Amino acid sequence: MLRSMVLRALLHFSEGAISTGTFNREFYIRHGIDPRRIYSGVCPADTETFGNARIDSSSVGSPTAQPLRIGFAGKLVARKGVDELLHATALLPRNCDWSVIVVGDGPQMPELQALVAQLNLDDRVTFYGFANTTEMPKLLAGFDVVVVPSRLDMRTLITIEAMAAGAAIVVSDATAVWGPGDLVEHEVTGLVYPSGDVSALSSELRRLIADRALLMRLRRCGAERVTAYGPDAFARTVASAVRLASQSHAPTVDIGRKL
């Protein structure tokens, strides 16, 4: 409560705020900032590097590539929802070719490995382990689909990076990266499912297994959407916000007054 009060006071006296998406804008409004002082911005990522990895990937553009390569990348903690992804993939048809690669490390690793064995997914799921930043573009470009099943996350950078690398995106509705005009629009630049609903996540993955035209369309549209999320775009939105904020508080000059 104290933190919320302090934040509300700071926002009240600020000249403005830059929103990085639908939920971020609602957050500012909920904490008392005038919507007229909220300026549209982007959460920046190195879209050029990840986009180059997509261009270099020989698999891009092949609608019948098999198996369907499903990826996750992030810290292996409960909040990231990897167990939810594993339970969802356990519901996928075994007569189809698909695989899951989990990139990352963390305290939940032993628990997740045990879950894979329990769900009889040993032949489908691979734990890659920790990957440094130089490895990530190539890894993400090697996935057809990247799932972000977080139970609570804000502007997850991996979403932008995966889209730039050419992967289709499936995110939970607890990721705060989706909505009209936002990074992920359901069935336009990605797919969104209710967080915690394993059946819904499995259903969305089934769609991508069965409908390769949808998969390729999401990959293409996602890559196009994130072109507006690079460092240059971020710099432009910040500069625009500063300019508009300063103009709104610029002193007026009475031309009839003698100086």
Q: Per the domain annotation, does 255 fall within a domain?
A: no
Q: What is the token pair recorded at 179?
A: 């909505």
The three state secondary structure string of 31-64 is: CCCCHHHEEECCCCCCHHHHHHHHHHCCCCCCCC
- What is the number of alpha carbons within 13 Å of residue 105 lying toward its C-beta? 5
User: Is residue 15 situated within a structural domain?
Assistant: yes
Q: Is residue 253 included in any domain, yes or no?
A: no
**Same structural domain for residues 91 and 25?**
no
For the residues of 178-200, what is the DSSP string, one character each? Answer: BSTTSSB-BTTTBEEE-TT-HHH
Residues 82 and 177 in one domain: yes
Whether the ω angle into residue 110 lies within 30 degrees of 0, i.e. cis, is no
* 153 and 237 fall within a common domain: no
pLDDT in the model for residue 233 = 67
**Is residue 180 in some structural domain?**
yes
CATH number at residue 84: 3.40.50.2000
- Assign residue 134 a region (left: φ > 0; alpha: ψ between -120 and 50; beta: otherwise): alpha
- State how far the Cα of 234 lies from the Cα of 123, in Å rounded to an integer: 42
pTM of the model: 0.81
Q: How many domains does the chain have?
A: 2
In this structure, the answer to whether residues 112 and 171 fall within a common structural domain is yes
pLDDT tens for the chain, residues 1 to 259:
888 788 777 877 777 777 777 777 777 778 788 888 777 777 777 888 999 988 755 444 445 556 899 999 999 999 999 999 999 999 999 998 999 999 999 999 999 999 999 999 999 999 999 999 999 999 999 999 999 999 988 767 899 999 999 999 999 999 988 888 889 999 999 999 999 999 999 999 999 999 999 999 999 999 999 988 877 766 676 777 677 777 765 554 454 444 4
254: in domain: no
Identify whether residues 14 and 132 lie together within a single domain: no
Is 259 part of any domain?
no
Same domain, 35 and 126: no
Does any domain span residue 40?
yes
* Structural domain boundaries enclosing 239: 2-44+230-248
Pair (176, 212) in one structural domain? yes
What is the Cα–Cα distance from 151 to 259, expressed in whole angstroms? Answer: 62
Verify that 205 and 243 share a domain, yes or no: no
Q: 130 and 95 share a domain?
A: yes
Are 98 and 164 contained in the same domain? yes
In this structure, the answer to whether residues 169 and 237 fall within a common structural domain is no
| Residue 67, domain member (yes or no) | yes
Q: CA 182, 187, 192: angle at the middle one, nearest 5? A: 70
Instruction: Give the Cα separation of 47 and 228 in Å (integer).
Output: 9
150 shares its domain with 107: yes
Provide the CA 124 distance to its chain's centre, in angstroms. Answer: 24
